[in-house]
Amino acid sequence: MGKKENDKLCIMIIPHTAKVKKFSIPSWLPKVVSIAIGLIILFLSLFISNLHNSYESLKEKYNIKAAQVNALKAENDKKNFQIFNLKSENDKLREKSAEIDYKLMEIDKLQRELEKIAGIQSPSRGKLLTKTQGLQDTESTDELRILIDTLDLKKKELQDFIVDIEERFEYLETIPDLWPTHGRLTSKFGMRQNPLGRGRQFHYGIDIANSSGTNIVASAKGIVIFSGYKRGYGRTVILDHENGYKTLYAHNSKVLVSVGDRVEKGQLIAKMGSTGRSTGSHLHFEIHENDKPIDPLTILK
């Protein structure tokens, strides 16, 4: 019995009032229980430590992620700033483009004025070569490309126009439309009473009277084909403008150019006088077109 009795433990609960309660449990149970508790504690502490490690690793991961998020945020801010800058660049570009467009229109206006002055048309023939309007929605790069193309076209057009104008001015230089002197217009082109005799005769030029020695200038650019004394005309200069026009300057007191000289429009060529068949100091001025005298007043400006 003894050994069997030893294998059991007796637990008695003695309340104040009721009967004593008595349990008997196997004697190994406390040991097993304490080992189990020990194991549970060990397990729990391992679990906690594991949990702690997991937490630490999660925290670390979170920190890494947070750092990445911050980096992304910074990147985003940078991008936003760049976008803002690009937008303002774009705005500036649009502003510039509008400015250039305005300048192009101004150039066009000037061209039209020059056309009127020179009496010619520029190569664009009145077409406006400004940037197409209503391109506000296009990409600024497209707009820039269009603008560059337009500017390129305009440059070529202006180069051609300048050549045209130069040629035109070169031609205008040879048109005898400059008054050869200043003074009083005393006689016009056409039939008139002979001032030195009887009857009527044809006057092949105009007379401009002023004091002796008044400057006489070339009415247009040309070459001197006569310079000297001519019967009736006195001291005379004749210019060939090499475009069908010739001009004659008569009754001078002095001639200042020689045959073969090239003269510019407005260049001093003689001094007014009264040589030849003349009643007083004046210039007798003739314009010949294809060797026929024409009324100078139809050309002089």
Rule CB under 5 A: say whether 286 interacts with Zn ion. Answer: no
212 near 283, Cβ under 8 Å?
A: no
Piece of 71-79, 219-227, 240-248, 284-292 that binds Zn ion (CB under 5 A)? 284-292
Nearer to Zn ion, 165 or 287 (CB): 287
**134-153: which residues touch Zn ion (CB under 5 A)?**
none
Rule CB under 5 A: say whether 284 interacts with Zn ion. Answer: yes
Tokens (6 digits) for 110: 């000037």
Nearer to Zn ion, 165 or 217 (CB): 217
Tokens (6 digits) for 46: 């391992």
Q: For Zn ion, how many residues bind (rule: CB under 5 A)?
A: 2
- CA 81, CA 63: separation in Å to the nearest integer? 26
Per-residue binding letters, 153-192, with Zn ion (x by CB under 5 A): ----------------------------------------
Q: Which residue is nearest to Zn ion (CB)?
A: 284
Phi/psi of residue 207, nearest 5 degrees: -110, 130
Per-residue binding letters, 35-74, with Zn ion (x by CB under 5 A): ----------------------------------------
Tell the smallest beta-carbon distance from residue 275 to Zn ion (Å): 13
Query: 185, 260, 172, 166: which is closest to 220 by C-alpha?
Result: 172
Nearer to Zn ion, 108 or 207 (CB): 207
Tell the smallest beta-carbon distance from residue 218 to Zn ion (Å): 18
Tell the smallest beta-carbon distance from residue 238 to Zn ion (Å): 15
Nearer to Zn ion, 97 or 214 (CB): 214
Neighbours of 100 (CB within 10 A): 17
Tokens (6 digits) for 146: 């269009």
List, in sequence order, the alpha helices (H) in the chain. 2-6, 29-118, 140-173
Tell the smallest beta-carbon distance from residue 296 to Zn ion (Å): 11
25 near 38, Cβ under 8 Å?
A: no
Neighbours of 104 (CB within 10 A): 19
Rule CB under 5 A: say whether 207 interacts with Zn ion. Answer: yes
Tell the smallest beta-carbon distance from residue 201 to Zn ion (Å): 10
Query: 115, 297, 118: which is closest to 219 by C-alpha?
Result: 297
Nearer to Zn ion, 143 or 207 (CB): 207
> Which residues are CB-neighbours of 167 under 8 A, at least 6 positions away?
none
Nearer to Zn ion, 131 or 288 (CB): 288
DSSP string, 217-282: E-SSSEEEEEEEEETTTEEEEEEE-SSSEEEEEEEESEE---TT-EE-TT-EEEE-B--SS-SSSE
Piece of 141-149, 205-213, 239-247, 258-266 that binds Zn ion (CB under 5 A)? 205-213
Piece of 82-90, 156-164, 239-247, 282-290 that binds Zn ion (CB under 5 A)? 282-290
Binding interface with Zn ion (CB under 5 A): 207, 284
